[in-house]
Structure 1
Amino acid sequence: MAVMQAGSREEFLSEIVRFTQQLGFQTVSATMVLDHVLADSEFITVDNAPDAYRTAFLSRENWRRDPVMQHCKRQSVPIIWNQATYTKDGQGEIWEEQARFGYRAGIAMALHLPEGRHFMLGVERDQGVPADPVELMRIVADLQLLTVHAQEAAGRIFVPVAPDKSVTTLTPRELEALRWTMEGKTAWEVGNILGISERTAVLHVNNAMHKLGCVNKHQAVLKALRMGLLR
């Protein structure tokens, strides 16, 4: 699938838009969600939403109320949605607003991956989805295939693991100190767990921060997670 060859966000978006429009849908969005232990989840989205609708489309408050987004947050099975999906959930005003921009019906799905990663893909159009169940099944199958391939490309493009020679200098103790810091332990608790003094525990964390180029321990943990050093 061509999206696998994308080398940038622009190429990625171009390929999923092209595929989506071939299926008869006007708009598409792809979102990578990265769960962090010591911080809020990180959302990375590419889409071809109309400019006039983009602010509302990317609103986290709307996402928390949107029944389609809530379905994708909890499940991996695709959801085929229309106005009734919103009205039965008491969110008809969300549908009314998005319908003005062509978001009247669509299909969305999510992949929930290891290490706190999630990937969501949704396509929309200004008319109902095809009524023919065979045609609809074919579209859903094509979108599932696109989602799998797009997720792999998005992981490579959105959250690349940059080589960092300093990583090789992290000692086992520094990694252990970071790992327990990730679990919310204080320097005193880390020291007790590792059988070292509180001062030495602080030193290990500070050394890891310096080697990772971070200004505090929370940033160091997040970077170590991103680079695959902590799981």
Structure 2
Amino acid sequence: MDEWKDLQLRKLSCEQDLQKAYRLVMNFFNNQGFKYCAFAAYSGLPGRYASKINLNNYPYGWDKLYEQNGYAANDPIVAHCNQSSLPILWNELVFSEAPKLWEDLGRQGLRHGWTQAVHDERSPYYSLFSLARTHCCIDVEEHYGNLGYAIFASQKLHALASKKLASVPSPKTCHLSPREIEVLRWSAEGKTASEVGRILCLSERTVNFHVNNCMRKLNVTNKISAVAKAAQIHAI
């Protein structure tokens, strides 16, 4: 078994393709008793990133559920990893202030796991590496027995992901005029074009003109998407 581990780690150290490296890591830890393996890399911290890479074999629908419920905003694992590279074990106490997230993790079979972050002072990139399984608690002996392998794997994946993120062109800055920003801000409050017009002393036609300009600049197809994207890039 030790020879097999050594061979897999050697293969990983030589691999230059992120997807292939992730599969090597996933297979390695599957053989260590972890059904699920996840790696995510960000240009900036989660919730404030311009682009990201997300690789995992979590149950179908988990990523969508996590995003729809906005769990990243109150995920204690993410909060810990934003500040520290020390690994953190998942347990009920850790999730005491996010009971709904803990409940959903359990429903999906993601009950027993741990996560560690990679903070790279030489680049703006940040990564999270997680291992999880449905049954059997992770005791201290098992945790530290796998910690060295996990650190090596996470740093290798982080290095490959950083190269990939660095090759992604920076998003073009979107310049909205002060009036367009005002229109979108009131639209975000749920105001109709007619109501926005009365507030800003504009005709409804002029309000719609500004909305259409915003949609074009933000490359979206409707007002709701324009408001959402403007908020995402902190334009409003």
Task: Tell whether the structures are fold-level matches, with TM greater than 0.5.
Answer: yes
2:88 pairs with 1:82: no
* SS at 2:19 equivalent: helix
- Map of 1:111 onto structure 2: 118
Map 1:1-231 onto structure 2 (within 5 A): 1=9, 2-35=11-44, 40-58=49-67, 61-87=70-96, 90-113=97-120, 114-131=122-139, 133-156=140-163, 158-159=164-165, 161=167
Return the TM-score normalized by structure 2: 0.59
Q: Following TM superposition, by how much is the alpha carbon of 1:145 offset from its aligned partner in structure 2, in angstroms?
A: 1.9
User: How many residues matched?
Assistant: 158
**Whole-angstrom CA distance in 2 between matches of 1:64 and 1:43:** 16
Q: Following TM superposition, by how much is the alpha carbon of 1:60 offset from its aligned partner in structure 2, in angstroms?
A: 8.2
* SS at 2:21 equivalent: helix
Q: Give the residue type in structure 1 aligned to 2:92.
A: Q
Q: Give the residue type in structure 1 aligned to 2:138.
A: P
**Whole-angstrom CA distance in 2 between matches of 1:58 and 1:138:** 32
Q: Following TM superposition, by how much is the alpha carbon of 1:59 offset from its aligned partner in structure 2, in angstroms?
A: 5.3
Kept in 1: contact 2:18–2:157 (CA 8 A): no
Deviating runs (4+, > 4 A) in structure 1? none
Kept in 2: contact 1:25–1:123 (CA 8 A): yes
Kept in 2: contact 1:82–1:128 (CA 8 A): no
Identical counterparts, % of pairs: 16
Alpha carbons of structure 1 residues 142 and 115: separation in structure 2 relative to 1, 3 Å: closer
**Whole-angstrom CA distance in 2 between matches of 1:71 and 1:41:** 21
Return the TM-score normalized by structure 1: 0.60
Q: Following TM superposition, by how much is the alpha carbon of 1:40 offset from its aligned partner in structure 2, in angstroms?
A: 4.3
Q: Following TM superposition, by how much is the alpha carbon of 1:12 offset from its aligned partner in structure 2, in angstroms?
A: 3.0
- Map of 1:200 onto structure 2: none
Superposed CA RMSD: 2.7
Q: Give the residue type in structure 1 aligned to 2:25.
A: I
Q: Following TM superposition, by how much is the alpha carbon of 1:83 offset from its aligned partner in structure 2, in angstroms?
A: 2.2
**Whole-angstrom CA distance in 1 between matches of 2:145 and 2:92:** 22
Q: Following TM superposition, by how much is the alpha carbon of 1:58 offset from its aligned partner in structure 2, in angstroms?
A: 4.7
- Map of 1:166 onto structure 2: none
**Whole-angstrom CA distance in 1 between matches of 2:19 and 2:162:** 15
Q: Following TM superposition, by how much is the alpha carbon of 1:62 offset from its aligned partner in structure 2, in angstroms?
A: 0.8
Kept in 2: contact 1:79–1:107 (CA 8 A): yes
* SS at 2:65 equivalent: helix
Kept in 2: contact 1:28–1:124 (CA 8 A): yes
Q: Give the residue type in structure 2 aligned to 1:67.
A: P
Alpha carbons of structure 1 residues 103 and 12: separation in structure 2 relative to 1, 3 Å: same
5+ residue gaps, structure 2:
1-8, 174-216, 218-236
Kept in 1: contact 2:41–2:126 (CA 8 A): yes
